[in-house]
């Protein structure tokens, strides 16, 4: 039997309201959550543009495929430089 690991529950970010007036901590720009949120926002922007500009002729699955492909290529080329 494999022992279970204790995983600490994530704590909410510190804000001025919860830290007793102290300066809130600035989140790291390289966290996984920040990157995922930026991707979701970018995808929503691209999807909205494709739906309004092209009146649904470009399907959401096609937009997703193009978006993911562009993201993967961008990551691959940025690691080469």
pLDDT of residue 4 exceeding 60: no
Reported as a single tens digit per residue, the pLDDT across 33-51 is 998 999 999 999 999 999 9
- Tokens 């739906």 locate to 51
Closest CA to 46 of 28, 32, 65: 65
Assess contact for 13 and 20: CB atoms under 8 A. no
> What does the domain layout of the chain look like in residue ranges?
32-80
Give 74's pLDDT tier (boundaries 50, 70, 90). Answer: confident
- Residue 8 has a pLDDT of 45
pLDDT of residue 28 exceeding 70: no
Assess contact for 22 and 16: CB atoms under 8 A. yes
The distance from CA 67 to its chain's CA centroid, rounded to whole angstroms, is: 13
pLDDT of residue 79 exceeding 50: yes
């Amino acid at each position: 039997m494999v022992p279970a690991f204790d995983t600490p529950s994530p704590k909410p970010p510190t804000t001025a309201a919860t830290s007793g007036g102290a300066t809130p901590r600035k989140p790291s720009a390289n966290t996984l959550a920040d990157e995922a949120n930026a991707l979701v926002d970018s995808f929503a922007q691209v999807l909205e543009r494709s739906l309004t500009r092209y009146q649904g002729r470009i399907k959401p699955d096609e937009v997703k495929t193009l978006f993911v492909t562009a993201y993967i290529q961008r990551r691959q080329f940025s690691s080469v430089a």
